[in-house]
Amino acid sequence: MEFLESLGDGWTIYLWLVIGVMIIAACIYWIRWAAKNEQFDEDIKYLVFTEEDRDKMTPAEFAKSREVLATQEQSRIRVLKQQEEERSRQ
């Protein structure tokens, strides 16, 4: 506690600046991670629909949901292959 009292006035602003820079750096890191890992897919909303929802959707929406589902399955297979290759290297 004596150390903090020995500091001059205004030192807390530097502490806040350092913490702010750390928060911004963490946000940039996680946004970059999300972009690299396909987390910003706006078509993800179509994955909740199944064949049973065909009558509740327009034909165009249903076709889009099937297309998005096929794309996601291909992406899943690709990612699983990459993970398997990484495991086999180790």
Q: In this structure, how many other beta carbons lie within 10 angstroms of the beta carbon of residue 46? A: 19
Together in a domain, 53 and 81: yes
pLDDT, one tens digit for every residue, the chain (90 residues) = 677 777 777 888 888 999 999 999 999 999 999 988 878 878 878 888 888 888 898 999 999 999 999 998 998 999 899 999 999 987
Together in a domain, 30 and 46: no
Together in a domain, 47 and 62: yes
Together in a domain, 32 and 55: no
Together in a domain, 55 and 34: no
Q: Are the CB atoms for 53 and 69 separated by under 8 Å?
A: no
Residue 78: domain span: 41-90
Q: Could you give the CA distance from residue 1 to residue 15 in angstroms, rounded to a whole number?
A: 16
Segment 42-50 long-range contacts (CB within 8 Å, at least 24 positions apart): 43/68, 43/71, 44/68, 47/72
Query: Whole-model pTM above 0.75?
Result: no
